[in-house]
Amino acid sequence: MSNTLHPESSEKTTRLSWSLTFLLIALIAGVLGISKIFFFIFLILLIVSAIVTALRGRPPI
């Protein structure tokens, strides 16, 4: 069965994959003690992403 009938299931799979990837990165960063650096990097990325989304006129999720 292909995902062409249900494109939202493909999007959900992609989101789940990304969230698991970031969870793994966070766990490794916590073990290595560099979580504060990653926190600020991801905080900056979140702010930049929010600004770009607002400037493009797309509504939030």
- Taking only the tens of pLDDT, the chain with its 61 residues reads 444 555 567 777 888 888 888 889 878 888 888 878 888 888 898 899 888 888 887 666 6
Cα–Cα distance measured from residue 34 to residue 32, given in angstroms and rounded to the nearest whole number: 6
What pTM did the predictor assign?
Answer: 0.48
Distance CA 54, CA 61 (A): 12
Structure tokens at 49: 């992403």
